[in-house]
A and B are shown apart, each in its own frame.
Chain A
Amino acid sequence: DAGVIQSPRHEVTEMGQEVTLRCKPISGHDYLFWYRQTMMRGLELLIYFNNNVPIDDSGMPEDRFSAKMPNASFSTLKIQPSEPRDSAVYFCASSHGQGKAFFGQGTRLTVV
């Protein structure tokens, strides 16, 4: 298995633009997590899915953020409109049950 695949690896966008981050979890995993990492706030859980259903989105900072998981092999995190304070590294991770999580390489987002 290729592991968790995220795209793009780097994204630079202008304030106000829509940003879409993509994630392909490991096949067979039933949990998918979206995290945001910054120096100030560390690794924050934004939202997680179980069997494609969003379970807890209490970490999503604002209505500008939305996430979907249309099927077991794909998820998106969308920011619309983006702001400079959204600049961070966004990680997707997947797991089977309450076991260990496998992380993607992350998307480094810069909003200018």
Chain B
Amino acid sequence: SQQGEEDPQALSIQEGENATMNCSYKTSINNLQWYRQNSGRGLVHLILIRSNEREKHSGRLRVTLDTSKKSSSLLITASRAADTASYFCATVTNRDDKIIFGKGTRLHILP
């Protein structure tokens, strides 16, 4: 069963614009992670945010976590063509060590 659900399912923006993707989950978590997957490749870890953290930055990435709303967002600033990929959120709960993924957001950066 899937714990996280990304929104939107697909997103197309112009190069240079910011892209925001959201993730909602159901049960309490230990941490939440975001991954990127280029077509035909494995997933690559982007950022991990723990349940006691509210915001985290890594380069052009900004992740927020609201545990009261059970939601997270991933912001990619100044998007580039190379950012075209699928983005997944994944949760690790307090109950076990499983990493459960949502269905992802397909991001397309238009030149």
Instruction: Write the residues of chain A forming the contact surface with B, with a CB cutoff of 8 angstroms.
Output: 4, 31, 33, 35, 42-43, 45, 48, 50, 55-56, 91, 93, 95, 98-106
Contacts and interface: CB of A to CB of B under 8 A. Distances in A.
9 A-B pairs closest in CB distance: A103-B42, A100-B45, A42-B103, A43-B101, A103-B43, A105-B42, A98-B92, A100-B48, A101-B99
B45 A50 contact: no
Nearest to A40: B103
The dominant DSSP class at the B interface is strand
Interface residues of B, number: 23
Contact of B2 (A42, A50, A100): A42
Interface of B: 2, 30-31, 33, 35, 41-45, 48, 88, 90, 92, 96-104
Name A's interface SS. strand
